[in-house]
Chains A and B, each alone.
Chain A
């Protein structure tokens, strides 16, 4: 029944509009996670709409699930029904959307996942994932920290503590893995003395750091899975009057950026929602153009430190 409708619509479109017009543009639908909830997602949506408007070959249907899985599934079904050329999805739940994504694939509509990936059982039904490479982010954080230790001349004795994100979250696992793998490669004598989860939470990270500070007299560096936790750790160190600790994070937040400007926080990884949005749209267009798109299509998330932060605008989140 579905294929019949598809065929009829396709034939009708071709007959009515003429092949030239029908081919002139891609209709791309996007369903986002929860636009109003934080400024990363708000900026992402604005950037996506701007990028789509700027491209005369693209007409975008921009939808927001408002964090509601049921609504996101309904939106995917609506987009299939509207017979768009491609669907971009920012999953509200990496597993719950898999059946809906399968329906899109069965209807012949390529699906691109953006920002955070769906679970592995769904990989067969999507064309590409466009988002940050968290392993590389972890590796780069290790390099930032090692380079700073070398500048300070303490690369042979430095001790580091590590505050990870929420246990079980892919992002947390990948970043921690990248950091722990890269640090001994660049600074073999730096020791990671302890690792504890901060659950992406600033207060939790502060408590973890307070415990570290009482436990270890010599801490030269702190790596946190994101700047939110990094600033929590910084607060703990400030309260304990422990100076000279090098803080490195990931996903540069506005608070991290400010702390860097104040000279208290050393570096992070710059992840721009604008780049994220543009990469997602470009990935969908490349898929539709028939180009060979890598399954994991990462956008670049550069290093940001006190030295080069003037090249980056302050994050909005």
Chain B
């Protein structure tokens, strides 16, 4: 019991230790290398960091649930783009012309519905065909992206609505709109994983699918629900982001699935399933955004940023493995 407790906390607290290390490193390195007058650990800069973490972060929350299940969803980036198109395009539909700014509510709802539907489609295929989620969502990633390009060719889909942009740029208690949505997503999914039957089942299924089936858990419908959740969250991330930018490039969201998975894995969730936490994922998301921001702050270019994040991912997984192997051995003794 106690060893289990230590093990769990080691794997999730590792990412927070890493974040503290990053903060110290960039504060000190920035002192010598940065052209900026401001300190890296400035309050406004940290608030901005949370705001910038939202697009990847909100999706990563859903991905945690999927990966705890032992599944994966590669189509989130394409769903992100589709939801953005649905939101921005529906705002210009003549049907809603009389609604004024209330069209925002309708468009948000439509986009979120579209995301949930696309997620449900993934889940149903995984359930009914028994094909691995990796393959199913690899297919839907390509297919959904195809839809994006069919909609408007290579051209961006745009609609600037200043009410919407003001909403996206608004601050409440010092936090930006996007930060609030990120916080709410983390909180809700954390509560689901901790205190609901559905959440506990997610871990049971990820640990041992056969045992879960034998225990009477309806694995298929359970997975569909999780795919609906991640589809919804990918769309939520999208509407929050595009509210503040107003234009979707057809290649938007590409590689998001990889950044999201990187964040989730950095946060201590096992690729094999059965273990992981939303709080750890939040740490993973913040760690990545800190790296991007910090390396930019000290003047490194984008290719360096990607190289460093890749290296750190491997190092973190290696350390994690060492810790877990040690823990398991200690258990046996």
18 pairs across A/B with beta carbons < 8 Å?
A1-B44, A5-B44, A13-B37, A36-B303, A59-B35, A64-B301, A78-B297, A81-B38, A82-B36, A84-B36, A93-B156, A93-B247, A93-B249, A95-B160, A95-B247, A119-B158, A121-B160, A168-B155
Q: How far is the CB of B177 from chain A (nearest CB, A)?
A: 12
Q: A99-B246, A166-B154 are in contact. List 10 more A-B contacts (CB 8 A).
A: A61-B35, A69-B245, A69-B249, A77-B52, A78-B297, A82-B36, A93-B249, A95-B158, A95-B160, A99-B165
Chain A residues with CB under 8 Å of chain B are 1-2, 5, 9, 12-13, 27, 35-36, 59, 61-71, 73-75, 77-78, 81-84, 92-100, 103, 119, 121, 166, 168
Quick one: given A93-B156, A96-B246, A99-B244, are A81 and B44 in contact (CB under 8 Å)? Answer: yes
Q: Which of B40-84 contact A (CB under 8 A)?
A: 42, 44-45, 48, 51-52, 55
A95 to B246, CA, bound (A): 7
Q: How far is the CB of B49 from chain A (nearest CB, A)?
A: 9
* Residue pair B296, A78 in contact (C-beta under 8 Å): yes
Q: Nearest A residue to B237 by beta-carbon distance?
A: A70
Q: Which A residues are in CB contact (< 8 Å) with B36? A: 27, 82-84
A interface: dominant SS: mixed
* Residue pair A2, B246 in contact (C-beta under 8 Å): no
Q: Which A residues are in CB contact (< 8 Å) with B255? A: 68
Chain B residues with CB under 8 Å of chain A are 34-38, 42, 44-45, 48, 51-52, 55, 154-156, 158, 160, 165, 168-169, 174, 241, 244-249, 251-252, 255, 292-293, 296-297, 299, 301-303
Q: Which of A2, A68, A73, A84 contacts B44 (CB 8 A)?
A: A2
A288 to B89, CA, bound (A): 39
Quick one: given A66-B302, A77-B52, A168-B155, are A99 and B37 in contact (CB under 8 Å)? Answer: no
* Residue pair B156, A95 in contact (C-beta under 8 Å): yes
* Residue pair B302, A35 in contact (C-beta under 8 Å): yes
A73 to B34, CA, bound (A): 20
* Residue pair B38, A78 in contact (C-beta under 8 Å): no
Q: Which A residues are in CB contact (< 8 Å) with B301? A: 35, 62-64
Q: Which B residues are in CB contact (< 8 Å) with A70? A: 55, 241, 245, 252
Q: How far is the CB of A109 from chain B (nearest CB, A)?
A: 13
Q: How far is the CB of A106 from chain B (nearest CB, A)?
A: 10
* Residue pair A73, B245 in contact (C-beta under 8 Å): yes
